[in-house]
Amino acid sequence: MKYTTYIFDFDYTLADATLGIVGSINYALLKMNRLEADYENIRKTIGMHLTDAYTFLTEDGDQEHRLQFFNFFKEKADLIMLENTKLYEDTIDLLTSLKSRGIKIGIVSTKSRYRISEVLNKYRITHLIDVIVGGEDVENNKPHPEPLLKAITQLNVNALNVIYIGDSIIDAQTAYDANVDFIGITTGTTSKEHFLQYPFISIIKTLSELLHMH
């Protein structure tokens, strides 16, 4: 098998946190005296850094406002995110199978590392993950290649043997700029057609399809 290391995005790749994200974003917007955002528009921001999500939803690029939004989001998310984050039904089986083959597994996300760790603890699968690089661990978030390259360095593996799996164009761009092979998954808001503008090994509909790839 060519790939000895699988690195995953988190939201819409391994898990669905839509309800928690929508609730936290709209809480933050209301705290800033703005209107709540449309559900589908919020879904399109999942995978962006939160400050960029704010600008996408409001067209406000003011740095102080962006930071305010981030802090209000965190305030609400600390209360509701964990209970509103669900792993996909095939996530645990896939990770367990990969681990049994001796594959190294990482997670690279704009989401805070501690939030990802909370979910892994909740499902008792922390032992399946070798490294997590979250938004607070880097100076440049995705689509900059820094987070993915940092995970590869921490895992002490050759990038040629790494595959990155993600649900968004942000993930595809990250893999491309890091010179890492990419698999797109359509469990988020990005269609197969949108992935076609980037190099990819495969485009899949569910994580379980990875079990049949060599």
Segment 166-177, tens digit of pLDDT: 999 999 999 999
Q: How far is CA 177 from CA 41, 181, 184, in A?
A: 27, 10, 15
On the question of pLDDT at 214 being above 70, the answer is no
Answer yes or no: CATH 3.20.190.10 is held by domain 5-16+85-212. no
* H helical segments located in the chain: 18-31, 39-45, 50-58, 63-80, 91-100, 113-122, 146-155, 169-178, 192-195
Q: What confidence score (pLDDT) does residue 157 get?
A: 96
Domain boundaries, the chain: 5-16+85-212, 18-83
The two tokens of residue 138 are 């880097």
Mean pLDDT, the chain, integer: 95
Residue 212: which pLDDT band, with cuts at 50, 70 and 90? confident
Q: From 72, 64, 26, select the one nearest 45 (Cα to Cα).
A: 26
Place of tokens 């509909």: 205
Q: Do the bridges between strand 15-16 and strand 86-87 make them parallel or antiparallel, or are there none, so unpaired?
A: antiparallel
Compute the chain's Rg from CA coordinates.
17
What CATH topology corresponds to 18-83? DNA polymerase; domain 1 (1.10.150)
Q: From 77, 78, 86, select the one nearest 20 (Cα to Cα).
A: 77
- Give, in degrees to the nearest 5, the angle at Cα 168 between 131 and 24: 80
